[in-house]
Amino acid sequence: MNRTSEAAFETAIESVLLGNGFTPVDGQGFDRERSIFAAEVLAFIQATQESVWKKLDALHGAQTGDRVLESLCKWLDTHGALATLRHGFKCFGKTLRVAFFRPAHGLNPELEARYQANRLGLTRQLHFSPKSEKSLDVVLSVNGIPVVTLELKNPLSGQTVANAIHQYRNDRDPREPIFEFTKRTLVHFAVDTEEAHMATRLAGPATHFLPFNRGADGGAGNPPDKAGRNYKTAYLWEEVLQRDSLLDLLARFLHVDVEEKVADDGKKLRKENLIFPRYHQLQAVRQIVDAAAVEGVGHNYLVEHSAGSGKSNTLAWLAHRLSSLHDAQDQRLFDSVVVITDRVVLDRQLQNTIYQFDHRQGVVQKIDEDSRQLAEALEAGVPIIITTLQKFPFVSGQLAKLSEERGEGGRSHLPTRKYAVIIDEAHSSQSGGDGHRTQGRAGRRRIAQEGPGDGRRGGQGRTGALVPFHGQAWSAAQHELLRLHGDAQAQDAGDFRAQRRAVSPLHDAPGY
C-alpha cells in the first residue's frame, strides 16, 4: 500500500474539517484503556460547568479529575456514549454534561453559548489499542469522547473501499474498548474517493456495512464532483461530518432500536441495533425541515421511499423535527404533527425514538381506540398524533359531545391551529373510499408528506402508481383538519392548490 497516497487523502479531509469547527487533537493524549481523550473531557467540563466543578473540587481536591473520569467511564460503559452525550452523567450526586446541543429556538443565549463551547476533535493515525500499535486513519471526537472512525483508501494506491471494509472486519477487534458496541465510537466509515460505506457495530467477519452514497443517474455510487475534484465522496466530510451536522446527528438522529422476541423455548431475546441515517434519509428530513422553516405553513412535499429503505425511521425523525421546529422569529411553527399510517410498529418506534432524544413522556399519542380519542388529542394539542384516516370523519361529532359535556354548547370545531400532516402512503387504506368521502371538504394546512419509494432498484419500485392516491389521502387529511376548525372562508377549493414538489431524488438501492 502506498501510504503517501493515503496520507494525501487524510490531509484533504483534515483540511476541510479543521476549517469548519474541528480542532486537531494529539493522539498521545488518548487513554487507550478508557478509550477517551481525558484532557479534552476535563477541559470541556471545567470551561462549561465551573460551578459544579468547584463543588466537586471542594470534596475531592487534587483527585477531582480522576473521580470525574472514573464516573464518566462507568456511565459510558453502563448507559452508552449516545445517552451520555445527550443527557450527561452522575458524579457523586452531581450531573455533569459532556456535550451541549443546539436548542430548537434561539430564546436562550446561554444555551447557544454552551453549544458553541463544544470541542470537536480530529485525530489522525490514532493508536487505539492497549495491546498493540494498530492505528485508525481518522477519529472524530466530541469533547474527548470518540464517536466516529474512518478507514481511508485511495484507488491510486491500488486499494479501494472494499479493502477498508475488509480491514474493519478482519483487523479490528470489536472487543477493543474503542469499538465496544454503543459504549464509545458510534459509526465506522469505510471510504475511498469513489464510494463510502458505514457500519454501527463491528462484529468481525459478520460486520454489516451499508452503502452511504448519493446515487448516480438512477444507479449505485456517486456522481462526479461538481467542482471537478477527484473526490466523489467529499459530501461525507463537507456535509455529513461537518461540525453542526455531526452534532445534529448525535442529538436528533442516532438512536438505539431494541427488538424483543420470544424464542421457541420461551426465552426472551433482546437485540439492539444502533440506527444511523442513510444519506437519502438524512437529506429527506433536512430538506423538508429547512423548507418548512423558510416557507412556513401551506406547502406540500413528497418523498419517494421504496420498500425496505427505512420509511419508519424517516417518518420518526421528520415528525420529531417538525414538532419542535421554530421559525426565524423563534415562534413554534406547528402546534401538532399528525401522522397518518396503518403501521402498528410506527407507534412504538416513534415513542422509543423520540424518548431517546429528549426523555419526555407524552410527546407521542397513538389513536388506537376510537374517534373520541382522536378528538381529545387534537383538542389537547398533543405534539405528535398517530392515527388512521378512517377516524377523521367522526371527529367533529365527538368534539361536539366533548363540548356539551363541559357545558360549552355543541361546538364541533377546534381553535385555530397549525398542523404538519405526514402521510404514510405505503398502505392501501389511505386511499379509496375514505379519501373520496372527504373530497368535498377543504383544508389549508399542507406541510410535510412522506410518500413511497426512493428509487430503490429491484425493490417494489419507484411506486409512481402510488402518486394518484397520494392526492386522495392528502386531500382527505387537509379537508378534515380544516372542517374541524370550522373555517368557512377557506372552503374555496382554490385555496388548496399548492404545488406538490418532491425533494431532490433520493435513492436507496443495494450499492448506493
pLDDT in tens, 373-422: 888 888 888 888 888 777 777 676 777 777 777 666 656 566 677 888 88
What is the location of CATH 3.40.50.300 in the chain? Answer: 279-502
Does residue 441 have a pLDDT over 60?
no
Burial of 336 (0-12, 13-18, 19+ CB in 10 A): buried
**Residue 500's pLDDT is what?**
41
Give the bridge partners for 120, in sequence order.
22, 142
Contact 288, 318 (CB under 8 A): yes
Per-residue pLDDT reduced to its tens digit, 155-171:
988 899 999 999 999 99
- Residue type for 63, please? Q
Q: What percent of the chain has pLDDT over 70?
A: 74
Mean pLDDT lowest for which of 37-41, 112-116, 312-316, 354-358? Answer: 354-358
| Residue 383 dihedral angles phi and psi, to the nearest 5° | -55, -45
Does residue 231 have a pLDDT over 70?
yes
**Residue 139's pLDDT is what?**
98
Q: Which stretch, 119-128, 327-336, 408-417, 431-440, has highest mean pLDDT? A: 119-128
Contact 463, 409 (CB under 8 A): no
Does residue 310 have a pLDDT over 70?
yes
* 423 or 53, which is more confident: 53
Does residue 180 have a pLDDT over 80?
yes
- Residue type for 402, please? L
DSSP 443: -
- Nearest Cα to Cα of residue 171 among 204, 208, 123, 211: 204
Give the bridge partners for 270, in sequence order.
260
Cα dihedral 230, 236, 238, 240 in deg (nearest 10): 170
Degrees, nearest 5: CA angle 232-511-312: 105
Does residue 34 have a pLDDT over 90?
yes
Taken in order 140, 142, 146, 147, is the CA torsion positive or negative?
negative
**Residue 37's pLDDT is what?**
98
Label residue 356 by pLDDT band (50, 70, 90). low
Cα 374 from Cα 490, distance rounded (Å):
23
CATH superfamily of 279-502: P-loop containing nucleotide triphosphate hydrolases (3.40.50.300)
- Residue type for 371, please? S
Query: Region 342-348: what's the mean pLDDT?
Result: 65
| Residue 269 dihedral angles phi and psi, to the nearest 5° | -110, 135
Per-residue pLDDT reduced to its tens digit, 233-244:
999 999 999 999
Distance between alpha carbon 252 and the CA centroid of its chain, in Å?
A: 5
Tell the CATH topology of 3-32+115-248. Answer: tt1808, chain A (3.90.1570)
Cα 313 from Cα 316, distance rounded (Å):
5
Contact 254, 182 (CB under 8 A): no
**Residue 450's pLDDT is what?**
31
Does residue 367 have a pLDDT over 90?
no
- Nearest Cα to Cα of residue 201 among 99, 131, 98, 271: 271
Instruction: Output the pTM of the full model.
Output: 0.82
**Residue 47's pLDDT is what?**
96
Return the H-helix or E-strand segment holding 3.
helix 3-18
Does residue 211 have a pLDDT over 90?
yes
Mean pLDDT taken over the chain: 80
Contact 233, 241 (CB under 8 A): no
**Residue 425's pLDDT is what?**
65
**Residue 496's pLDDT is what?**
28
What is the location of CATH 3.90.1570.50 in the chain? Answer: 3-32+115-248
Per-residue pLDDT reduced to its tens digit, 446-484:
333 332 233 333 222 222 222 222 344 555 555 555 545
Query: Region 318-337: what's the mean pLDDT?
Result: 87
Cα 510 from Cα 220, distance rounded (Å):
7
Does residue 256 have a pLDDT over 60?
yes
Give the bridge partners for 340, in sequence order.
387, 423
Does residue 501 have a pLDDT over 90?
no
Query: Region 296-307: what's the mean pLDDT?
Result: 79
- Residue type for 489, please? Q
| Residue 454 dihedral angles phi and psi, to the nearest 5° | -130, 35
**Residue 311's pLDDT is what?**
80
* 491 or 346, which is more confident: 346
* Beta strands, E only, 105-253: 120-127, 135-142, 145-152, 187-191, 196-199, 210-211
User: Do you know the residue count of the chain?
Assistant: 512
Q: Which grid cell is 135?
A: 492505528
Cβ atoms within 10 A of the Cβ of 354, count? 24
